[in-house]
A = this chain, B = another copy of it.
């Protein structure tokens, strides 16, 4: 067997290396499986046994890493927050020099993300929040943290846009950022109910138009050509972060 010649890392490094290692441990496999299956079926309809089977681990491993199903739910949402944060950090809309353009670019990017199966583009946090809000406050809180965290990444740009172009009484960067999340979450609900993402994309266009009207810009339509040019690179970026699991085709 090959010896490991590198110097011993510190215990903290060790743990972090184990967690992020490319041969995933049971905890990581469970979180990835949870992210995928709970988005498809919901939290309550997903059993511990099912998660273990999908992750290829046993129940003993499950309860070694998580004190309860609820604890896994919280961890899965946190895992979701971290995963999506990486996606948006690497997204192309940050390159615009104008704050409002960055916000509009974010909306275009969100619209572009809609594709594939419904479970692939919808939001774990919004899905879980609806069903656990009354019964699992810990999960509910994690869901809000996830949504509000994504909203927060837009607030500096929104504040700059408000400062430069002005805005009606009562309009704040925080309120606008949460309004964006609101439309996104609603778009996912409609897409699921209709089993068709058409209205989701259309609603994001309405939201985009609201911003151009609100800030008095005759801003161009979404630059589809530019977006398309970035498709290949971004898709592979996403696939690495997001759709790495081997089991996409398991349902025949």
Contact = CB atoms under 8 A, between A and B. Distances in A.
A157 to B, nearest CB: 17
Given A44-B45, A131-B127, A209-B168, A182 B186 contact: yes
Q: For the side of the interface on A, what is the size category?
A: 35 or more
Interface in A174-204: 175-176, 178-179, 181-190, 192-195, 199-200, 202-203
Nearest to A42: B131
Interface in A52-67: none
A178 B202 CA distance: 9
A133 interface: yes
A185 B199 CA distance: 13
A205 B45 contact: no
Contacts of A131: 41-42, 44-45, 127, 130-131
Contact of A41 (B125, B135, B140, B185): B135
Given A130-B42, A130-B127, A186-B185, A179 B193 contact: no
Q: Number of copies of this chain in the oligomer?
A: 2
Interface string A152-171: 00000000000000001011
A187 to B, nearest CB: 5
Contacts of A178: 190, 199, 202-203
A143 interface: yes
B192 A129 contact: yes
B41 A134 contact: yes
A126 B189 contact: yes
